[in-house]
Structure 1
Amino acid sequence: METAQPAVRLDGVQFTTDRFRLGPIHLEVPRGYVTAIVGPNGSGKSSTFRLLLDLIKPEAGTIELLGSRPHSRNPELRQRLAYVPETNSDCDEGLRASEKAAFHQLWYPTWDVNRYQELLRRFDVDPSVRLGKMSKGMRQKLELALALAHQPELLLLDEPSSGLDPIAWKHMLETLSRYMEDGSRTILVASHLIEEVRRLADYIVVMSRGQVLGVYEKDALFDNWRTYYLIGDGLEERMLTQGPGVHAVERMGGQAYKLISSASQSTEQWLHREALPVTGQQPMELDDIMEALIARQQPFS
């Protein structure tokens, strides 16, 4: 990870309800990159965003965004951020898109009306339509245009693809890639779409049951995790689990085994050195990697 001051820092952050416990979370999101938070439903992704936005208060720990504590009475910090939620509030459904944009413009000195209009054209959004009359996908495109119009330093996106058709999704990915081109901006995105994470993210945070299971550089993650298939007399699961980089071993019947590695280079060197009978191998997809990590997660005491 980068040694410069992170865009987002959570240090020992905890939050609990009657049915859910988040943390303690220790997480640093590097500046100038796209970091994706992935995990099953109920893992704590949306709660983490609400904590970052000061919509709920942590019971313990500290939070910093762009070097400052999030607070509703910190307008300077708010002007450097933008947030696109998965589900939009219905309190402004009577407004037209143009009226909501005019309200936003009052709060952001760096608002770029030309940029905003360009985004509306690209996303094919009619600013005269009332928000309550918009489809979910159309509303999502409008919210993204509003978020990007003032060129925020930190963009928080909670399931931004929700409701988007394939063409709008493609336009969103292209727009976000261009937004990151100057190298000084940061995106923190929660997404359940594997292809979206593959195309956007530089770093991946895996969460489950309110805990961070790991933070990984994306290319290294996909390079390191691999599945190997072995078959042969004399193989024993206990022996295979001792191999370097071996995350898990599954017996598939008879003397056939599936071996999951989280450090493929070390594992392959060991397999070759021990002359073990590998019959096949394949890279792992992100959902399979998450499943392997979650399977090893220790439950709360």
Structure 2
Amino acid sequence: MSDWQEEQAIQFRDIVQRKPNFKMGPITLDIPKGFITAIVGPNGSGKSTLFRMILDLEKPQDGTVTVLDHPIGTGDDAPIKQRIGYLPEESLPHDDKLKAFEKARFNSCWYKNWDVNRYQELLLALQVNDNLPLGKMSKGMRRKCEFAIALAHAPDLLLLDEPSSGLDPLAWKSMIEILHRYMDPGDRTILMTSHIVEEVKRLADYIVFMAQGRVLGVYEKDELFSSWFTFFVSGEGLTSQMASRMPGQCGIESVGGQSFRITTSEAYQAEQWCETEGITILSKQALELDEIMSTLLLQDGISKRVHEARGKAR
């Protein structure tokens, strides 16, 4: 897990939210300024709830949210919202009858930095016609229009909830290129959610794993993908008890005899350990994002059961 020392764009402190069938938190989480952070996790993890809290569309029952050094919900949030762009996962049904250019014109009244030329450039790059009612557009076409509207005022903070939902491969590629150019100044921040592994790989600098209203881990992307591996190992006298001592071990499976399939979050240290212990690495394979997520969920489930068992034992 990374120890972030950068200036923070967003700070969640001791966030707790309780609903009839859902409990979030407590969550303490920093989103660093000048980088792209992706939150990944199963549906219902609380990702969209965090976005709504940033915009003061939903208030936490406990804890505080600070955005661009401004405590949210403690006064006039209008100046800070001028600096935020937001693309929600679901389009707003009350916009259906508006033509896209009408929604853009409406938004231009609220954002002092609205740039109509920038808006037109984005439409051109995304190959979209904004002279149609939003409700009559395909999901992908509407997504591209709303993406252009969210970016047209050059926000300092961009919130993207499943940004590529409904996009075809060509539009997806254009969106990736636009977002990379958006980050060029160096002081802008993107917080996004995505289920698309390749999207996270192409865009994110940091990855936050969430499940069941809690943060399971925060990682620097390159460090994450270079550290999480599955090793197939074999050795004279190798037992599951010995294999469990591999650094970063978070999953063991016997594959017959004295051979094991071991998942680790510390690949380099694991290799050094194998060499020291005289264990042969038959092969190794990097884990994909969804496999890391599954492993974290499994570990979290085991940890919770152990905690519950200890509680009952007392």
Q: Structure 2 length as normaliser, TM-score?
A: 0.92
Distance 2:169 2:31 in 1: 29
* CA deviation map 1:105-148 (0-9, x unaligned): 01111111110001111112212101111111111111110111
Q: Which of the residues 120, 129, 136 maps onto 2:132?
A: 129
Q: Which structure shows the bigger proportion of residues in helix conformation?
A: 2
* CA deviation map 1:152-179 (0-9, x unaligned): 0000000001100000000000000000
Relative to 1, partners in 2 of residues 1:139 and 1:73: Cα closer, same or farther, differing over 3 Å? farther
State the secondary structure of the residue aligned to 2:164. coil
Q: Which of the residues 261, 264, 277 maps onto 1:261?
A: 264
Relative to 1, partners in 2 of residues 1:231 and 1:187: Cα closer, same or farther, differing over 3 Å? same
The answer to whether the aligner puts 1:81 opposite 2:81 as a matched pair is no
State the secondary structure of the residue aligned to 1:178. helix
The answer to whether the aligner puts 1:146 opposite 2:149 as a matched pair is yes
Q: What is the match of residue 246 of structure 1?
A: 249
Distance 1:255 1:43 in 2: 39
Contact preservation (8 Å) 2:143, 2:165: yes
State the secondary structure of the residue aligned to 2:94. coil
Q: What is the match of residue 54 of structure 1?
A: 56
Distance 1:220 1:58 in 2: 32
1:153 maps to amino acid: D
The answer to whether the aligner puts 1:23 opposite 2:36 as a matched pair is no
Unmatched 5+ stretches in structure 1: none
Contact preservation (8 Å) 2:64, 2:72: no
The answer to whether the aligner puts 1:187 opposite 2:193 as a matched pair is no
Q: Structure 1 length as normaliser, TM-score?
A: 0.96
Contact preservation (8 Å) 2:235, 2:278: no
State the secondary structure of the residue aligned to 2:57. coil
Contact preservation (8 Å) 2:55, 2:81: no
Q: Which of the residues 37, 45, 48 maps onto 2:47?
A: 45
1:277 maps to amino acid: T
Q: What is the match of residue 312 of structure 2?
A: none
1:121 maps to amino acid: L
Q: What is the match of residue 290 of structure 1?
A: 293
1:129 maps to amino acid: L
Contact preservation (8 Å) 2:46, 2:213: yes
Distance 2:216 2:53 in 1: 19
Q: What is the match of residue 158 of structure 2?
A: 155
Q: What is the match of residue 68 of structure 1?
A: 70
Distance 2:248 2:217 in 1: 16
Distance 2:61 2:21 in 1: 15
Sequence identity (%): 49
Distance 1:151 1:108 in 2: 10
Distance 1:251 1:61 in 2: 45
**Shift of residue 291 of structure 1?**
1.0
Give structure 1 regions of 4+ aligned residues with deviation exceeding 4 angstroms: none
Distance 2:304 2:160 in 1: 28
* CA deviation map 1:178-209 (0-9, x unaligned): 00001010000000000000000000001111
Unmatched 5+ stretches in structure 2: 309-314
The answer to whether the aligner puts 1:235 opposite 2:238 as a matched pair is yes
Distance 1:113 1:2 in 2: 37
Q: Which one is further off, 137-146 or 240-249?
A: 240-249
Q: Which one is further off, 169-178 or 92-101?
A: 92-101
Q: What is the match of residue 115 of structure 1?
A: 118
Distance 1:287 1:265 in 2: 21
Distance 1:6 1:44 in 2: 21
Distance 2:283 2:7 in 1: 43
State the secondary structure of the residue aligned to 2:167. coil
**Shift of residue 2 of structure 1?**
4.1
**Shift of residue 284 of structure 1?**
1.3
**Shift of residue 264 of structure 1?**
1.0
Contact preservation (8 Å) 1:5, 1:67: no
